[in-house]
Amino acid sequence: MCRLIALAVLSFISFVSVVNAQDTTPIRILVGAPAGGSTDTIARTLALEFGRHLGRSVIVENRPGAGGNIAADAVAKAAADGNTLLMSFTSHAINASLYPSLTFDPVKDFTPLTLVATSPSILVAHPSLPVKNVHDLISLARSKPGQLNFAIGAIGSSLHLAGDAFKMQSGAFIVNIPYRGTAPALQDVLAGQVELMFAAIGNASAHIKNGKLRALGVTSSKRLTAFPDVPAINEVLPGFESSAWFGLFAPARMDVVLARRLSDAARHALSQSEVRRRLEVEGYTPVGNTPDEFSRFVLAEIVRWSKVVKFSGARPE
């Protein structure tokens, strides 16, 4: 018995020594999106307090492309030593069914650490469209199948599939008009070239307030404090909900003690008032759940989005 205890103590000391030996190595958080975007903003907001709690420097590294798959592939193949992490987004779940063959498994090749934040979107229309709410829109779209259009910034994005989920549940036939980016898509809606769009709150808020866009509904389960007079879409389509999400992952096969330490550090950062304020100002809702809760969330999201991807017939660009 004494020998077993001694071995256990030595193993623990060895693990602690490895962790401590890595303390001078910067942690890299890979982001599969360009600098300045939502995922990048969230990663950088989290990084400073996350690193401070661990006593480590943290570097955010952008590796955009393929809907986040380039960064995800790099992390999936990295050593599970806590030095390389992934700040991913909704496409982590969407890509499981959108891409016919991935170079990694979005579940088996990662250790979920925590769901960092969520962000609902808002259904907007150009003011010239003769609708005041979601009920009006569904009635008009059903009476004019294929004559209304959704502007979408990227094929397979959460905003694209929010529109297809809306069509799937409402039975309305609205045509998708794809753009290379959110900015040109939004610009054409503002100009009246396209009637409709699911937009990020941060991108649409100012245009709604100055009357250049009409808000029809939010994709959250409840009305938003920022737009108390805009109904949740599920008030008309029960069960409808579609929010972008952002989560922190590590490579698979990570030691459970190290994974818990990283998760705890991220959740500590998310509990800090300044971090929460910065996220909320940008329209994000901080979360910070446990690794087990985040794991179950990701599995459910993969199932949920697979149904929408199949309905949409979307293919990666």
pLDDT tens-place values along the chain, 317 residues long? 445 444 444 444 444 444 444 457 999 999 998 888 889 999 999 999 999 999 999 999 999 988 899 999 999 999 999 999 999 999 999 999 999 899 999 999 999 999 999 999 999 999 999 999 999 999 999 999 999 999 998 888 889 999 999 999 999 999 999 998 888 999 999 999 999 999 988 889 899 999 999 999 999 989 888 889 999 999 999 999 998 999 999 999 999 999 999 999 999 999 999 999 999 888 789 999 999 999 999 999 999 999 999 988 878 76
Interior/surface letters 180-215, b for 16+ CB within 10 angstroms, e for the rest: eebeebbebbbeeebbbbbbbbebbbebbeeebbbb
Ramachandran assignment for 259, one of left (phi > 0), alpha (psi -120 to 50 degrees), beta (any other): alpha
Integer Cα distance of 252 and 160 in angstroms: 30
Which pLDDT does position 23 carry in this prediction? 59
CATH architecture entry for 2-119+244-312: 3-Layer(aba) Sandwich (3.40)
Residue with tokens 């007079």: 229
Q: Strand pairing of 58-62 and 27-31? A: parallel
Integer Cα distance of 275 and 98 in angstroms: 33
Distances (CA, A) of 295 to 113, 139, 215, 309: 8, 39, 34, 21
DSSP string, 1-40: -HHHHHHHHHHHHHHHHHHHHTTTSPEEEEESS-TTSHHH
What token pair was written down for 214? 């009409």
In this predicted model, what pLDDT tens digit does every residue of 145-162 receive, in sequence order? 999 999 998 888 889 999
Superfamily grouping for domain 121-235: Periplasmic binding protein-like II (3.40.190.10)
Cβ–Cβ < 8 Å for 96, 306: yes
Ramachandran assignment for 273, one of left (phi > 0), alpha (psi -120 to 50 degrees), beta (any other): alpha
Domain ranges of the chain: 2-119+244-312, 121-235
Enumerate the β-bridge partners of residue 175.
149
Give yes or no on whether 2-119+244-312 and 121-235 have one common fold. Answer: yes
